[in-house]
Structure 1
Amino acid sequence: MKYISIVVPVYNEQENVSVFYQEVCKHMEATGYPFELIFVDDGSTDETTFILNKLTQQDTRVCAIILARNFGHQVALTCGLDHARGDAVITMDGDMQHPPAMLPLLINKWENGFEVVQTIRKDTQGVSWFKGFTSRMFYRTINAMSDIDMAEGGSDFRLLDRKVVDTFKNFKEKARFIRGIIGAMGYRRIQIEFVAPQRFAGKSKFSLKKMLNFALDGITAYSKLPLRLAFYMGLLSGLLSLLLTVDVIYTKLFTTEAVPGWATIAASVLLLGGLQLVGLGIIGEYIGRIFEEVKERPLYWVSDELKSSVEVRTKKQETVA
């Protein structure tokens, strides 16, 4: 019988983990599929690791991978996908905003032949106007600037067939933007819309700084347009400077209105200096990402892997045999 893996990155989710576990088990048991529930603890500093350890001892279907430090949501997802063994792998967050009740629906679409079942968040209960607005602008911007087409509201709540997961493992870039990677891979896919409920407990760990870094990762990973814009701004500023130079020469040689041009010089210097700094900043962003890639450091490293002692003993016996 086919096997399902569920990958869940968590970071300081002590109030949500147990409730999430119970809901996932309830809905997965209703499908009749055997499954494994893989938690990836992304460097939690609260009681999350302790709770995960208890769950692994109570249920052999649960395992927890403890990362040595906080690597970020996208890297934690990658770690879980690397360890997942299922014929299909479902990735979702552990704060209950990705409803476990949708798991049977995702599996049903997979049974019908779809290799990527992508959920689309149409709305999030209790989310601020600012966060909703910036999310919409991000998707519109990246779709306009790149060749990939990502649906507005796309989330990391999705089902991937085993062949898709195996293909994903070939992508080695450090600046991870999994929504873009999956979106650019192809395969037979379907989208399912849902309304995300409020977090069950706690606060979102996705700060404004992390949102900006996430957006930059997505844009720089799939678009060279910012570099071209810097080039076009340089051409435009050069043309304006040339026209200004012609005007200055004409005024000096053919009129008597020449006056000390400190204002003109100051304005032109500020304009050119600002455009140059913008261009250098864009180039620097890309060079910084090249620098991170060429170091070839591991994407993550694991501090511990928690599993049921029963499962561990069984594996040891199989090894001895």
Structure 2
Amino acid sequence: MCDPLVPPYLLGLHAAERPADPLVSCVVPAYNESANIVPLLETLHRLLNADGYRHELIVVDDGSRDDTVERVLTHNTGLPVKLVQLSRNFGKEVALTAGLEHAVGDAVVLIDADFQHPPEKVTEFLARWREGYDMVYSVRDGREDETLAKRCFTRAFYALINLGVPLKIPENTQDFRVLDRRIVDALGAMPERSRFMKGLYNWTGFTQLAVETRTGQRAAGHSSFNFWRLFGLAMTGLTSFSVMPLRVWTAIGALISLSSILYAAIVFVDTLINGNPERGWPTLAVAVCFLGGIQLLSIGILGEYVGRIFQEVKRRPTYLVSRVVTPAEPGAAHER
């Protein structure tokens, strides 16, 4: 499997740069995943050991309210687990950012804690990384398990965010991926606080390979990622990587203005020919309400962009860490 857009000589150059004995960092964001986290860590440890990879397993606890942290700390015997506990729930995008900033590996694996991303694919992704690809990412093979409304919403989002932009975000991509150290360093150099990770991954460029992956069901528990969180993430993505909403409403405003001028010309000609019988109150009321709604909607869209600027100029930290627990040696850990 290879990407025909990547020159073979470039892959060869990158493959020659790969270390003979790489360190692999696995970043696992977790929010209320007490039933899944330990089995996932044990599975990743077994798979990476079987292929001879030195590795670290980084669990980023995103303000869990269950015993996720306790299970990580009490079931990590023999596992190279680093726990990064955030001070509160910051959201998955920020949890991924925290994990990347604490990872020290030559390659970094991003994978969810709920087994929807198949751990068996990790070693396949790493094999492609060793062939010279700087990023190997998962693409869903279908969305048949989702509701019609969610499928339509997702399709509309990708259509809008990719409209009129030269660098398009591949549709149905997932956070499940392997990143080379150079991409991890590039992501760490990006200062924005409103993080839309799929857009940031894509923006970095480098050599990339998409791998079609079947998304499984959650092994246990329930997802906390509801429609409103999905909508919020979509708004972050649109306002971070596209000015198309502003351009669309500029075009709509111009169209309404031209229509108004045309209508005014028609009314003027009609008045000259037929006089002015004082009609048009319903038309006037509809026009005022319509234009008022358009103005409020336009102000709302503009406000989203201004709000993002407001968030950025405050320059608050992207996240706060409550504590970091690292393995001092096999079978032991210390806190800092």
CA distance in 2, matches of 1:311, 1:136: 47
Q: Which moved more, 1:27-36 or 1:227-236?
A: 227-236
Residue 214 of structure 2 aligns to a residue whose secondary structure is: strand
Amino acid at match of 1:174: R
Amino acid at match of 1:157: F
- Report Cα offsets for 1:72-110 as digits up to 9, x if no partner: 000000000000000000111000011111111011001
Which TM-score applies when normalising by structure 2?
A: 0.88
CA distance in 2, matches of 1:234, 1:222: 22
- Which of residues 49, 68, 73 is equivalent to 2:69? 49
Aligned pairs for 1:216-255 within 5 A: 216-255=235-274
Residue 5 of structure 1 aligns to a residue whose secondary structure is: strand
CA distance in 1, matches of 2:192, 2:203: 14
- Aligned residue for 1:83? 102
CA distance in 1, matches of 2:92, 2:333: 32
Asked if the contact 2:78/2:331 (under 8 Å) is kept, the reply is no
Two-structure CA RMSD over aligned residues (Å): 2.0
- Aligned residue for 1:11? 31
- Report Cα offsets for 1:34-86 as digits up to 9, x if no partner: 10000000000011111112134x13510111100000000000000000000
- Report Cα offsets for 1:156-206 as digits up to 9, x if no partner: 000011111111111111111111111111111111111011000111111
Runs of 4+ in 1 over 6 A off after TM superposition: 311-316
Which TM-score applies when normalising by structure 1?
A: 0.92
- Aligned residue for 1:22? 42
Residue 39 (1) aligns with residue 59 (2): yes
Structure 1 gaps, min length 5: 317-321
CA apart distance, 1:252? 2.9
Asked if the contact 1:148/1:180 (under 8 Å) is kept, the reply is no
Asked if the contact 1:251/1:258 (under 8 Å) is kept, the reply is no
CA distance in 2, matches of 1:237, 1:137: 24
- Aligned residue for 2:291? 272
Q: Relative to structure 1, is the Cα distance of residues 128 and 238 closer, same or farther in structure 2, using a 3 angstrom cutoff?
A: closer
CA distance in 1, matches of 2:271, 2:209: 68
Structure 2 gaps, min length 5: 1-20
- Aligned residue for 1:294? 313
**Number of residue pairs aligned between Structure 1 and Structure 2:** 315
Asked if the contact 1:237/1:275 (under 8 Å) is kept, the reply is no
CA distance in 2, matches of 1:61, 1:164: 23
**Percent of paired sites with the same residue:** 37
Aligned pairs for 1:77-116 within 5 A: 77-116=96-135
Question: Greater helix share, 1 or 2?
Answer: 1
Q: Relative to structure 1, is the Cα distance of residues 55 and 140 closer, same or farther in structure 2, using a 3 angstrom cutoff?
A: farther
- Which of residues 287, 304, 314 is equivalent to 1:285? 304
CA apart distance, 1:142? 1.9
- Aligned residue for 2:159? 140
- Aligned residue for 1:66? 85
CA apart distance, 1:120? 0.8
CA distance in 2, matches of 1:99, 1:51: 22
